[in-house]
Structure 1
């Protein structure tokens, strides 16, 4: 069972790659491919896109922040299925850059999957789950401003990806790690934004 769970991350990449045909792909197509109830999968995939080289697409970090914010609010309030406003659902992404980003992510995801297992599952239940959820929610509010500071947006997206991956694979250790990495965000913003 643990082994099956560990491969869920690669399966999410497979699903997205399968949908990324033609010149572009809409957010609606991504949601439809991953499923209306797949909050963790959707948060993971959009966060990973913002970590990958595809993040060079102008405005992508802000769009990912908006999507994750909306999804996280729905998760906190216990909504059963995903809802995103039409203006976001109609947004298009370059399928070529997306495929490139997926290819770039294969190796690190494959490496991480070897260490995933079901553990510290109490962190994945309320009230404990509220802490990482609220911290991720707060993080998304700062992400649009991070686009002007090199790497800080990617670090923020990596935190969100770790959190979502922990939920998806029921690995509370990964959720805890996301909170540790979260501490690096203000450090990165200070280092790159105000030093030198």
Structure 2
């Protein structure tokens, strides 16, 4: 069981890689690969896409932010499966850039997996769980504007990915640290932007 827990992030990458076929892959097919019921895995998958070099695809950060917002809202509403509007589900991504991003992510993912373990489990269960979810809801609307500042969108996505990893592995400490970092991102970017 412990081995499965520590490999869960790599398993998400494997599922993502298996879903990549042809020259383009749609958002809908990525959701189908992991399963529309797998909210935490989907949250992790899309955040990782926006963290990787695949985020260089124009509009990817904005799309991921929109998906994460919808996903988190539906978790809080108690839905059993993810619904996405058609124009998002039909959105196609370059498989070449996506595969490049997956390969790039494997090394840091393997590193992070070494430290994941169940702890502070209360933080990834209701009612505490709703606090970090609310932070994600508050921050994701700002992420499309982060595309004008290099790497800022990827930093926010990395924080969401770490939170999702904590959710999947019941690592409440990682989830808490990640969400505190995510909450600080807009303020830091705003300060840097205005001071620059």
Q: Deviations over 1:74-133 (max 9, x none)?
A: 001111111111110000000010000000000000000000011111011111111100
What is the RMSD of the two structures over their aligned residues, measured on CA atoms? Answer: 1.2
Question: Secondary structure of the equivalent of 1:81?
Answer: coil
Partners of 2:9 and 2:113 within 8 A in 1: yes
In structure 2, what is the equivalent of residue 114 of structure 1? 114
Cα distance change on mapping 1:101 and 1:192 into 2, 3 Å: farther
- Give the superposition deviation at 1:18: 0.8
Question: Could you tell me whether the CA contact under 8 Å between 1:152 and 1:188 is conserved in 2?
Answer: no
**Change in CA separation of 1:170 and 1:146 when aligned onto 2, cut-off 3 Å:** same
TM superposition score normalised by structure 2: 0.96
Q: Say if 1:2 and 1:118, in contact at 8 Å, map to a contact too.
A: no
Runs of 4+ more than 6 Å apart: none
Alignment size in residue pairs: 196
Deviations, residues 114-156 of structure 1 (Å, cap 9, x unaligned): 0001111101111111110000111111111111112211111
Which runs of no fewer than 5 residues in structure 1 stay unpaired? none
- Secondary structure at 1:177 match in 2: helix
In structure 2, runs of 5+ residues without a counterpart are none
Structure 2 residue 75 is matched with structure 1 residue 36 = no
TM-score relative to the length of structure 1: 0.96
